Structure 1
Amino acid sequence: MLLFCPGCGNGLVMEEGQHCHRVACNTCSYTHSVTRKVTHGKHPKLKEVDAVLGGAATWENVDSTAEPCPRCGHPPAYFLQLQTRSAEEPRTTFYQGCNAQCGHR
């Protein structure tokens, strides 16, 4: 069951504490204690996400740079330029670190 805040109308989120459960609004200060046990819940099926940059095959034959990854500091990093907007706009450069454990883009 989806509950809405009576003050501002936003959806309420469930908060769990050590001794109490309650629903609260992220926008205003409204909270309401949950007095009965929630026995079921529905989890919607997540939509599959398309690979916007073309997937793993896109990164196979790209150039690299000596610039280190900003997250893990592992040099070098791969880069790829794609035309993401109209022809009048410059290309967008995407970087990906070489460290497989980091995977930062």
Structure 2
Amino acid sequence: MEFCPTCGNMLQFELPNMGKSSRFFCPTCPYVSYLENRVKIKRKQHLVKKELEPIISDDDMKNAAQTEATCPNCAFGKAAFIQIQLRSADEPATTFYKCMNENCRQNWRED
């Protein structure tokens, strides 16, 4: 979004037409800004993904209570769970589960 330096109104964009280059123009005053046909990239910056920290660590789940919940990954019938209030107080708590099957150890949650 560009604004006119003389009157402050939002500039409108006009596509190239009949040999004229594209431009920004002000609908209220005679200001016109022509655009270059080429885009120059000055520098490339590589994005690096940050490592996400888990909300519930394995140490938290070691001391957690156990319940009869079915794992969505392996259908095992026992899971450890912790309830945490993530949203506002009038919303229900979020329950985090961890499968107790030694081969699975899948984590899931229910809001």
Q: What is the TM-score with the length of structure 2 in the denominator? A: 0.47
Greater gyration radius: 2
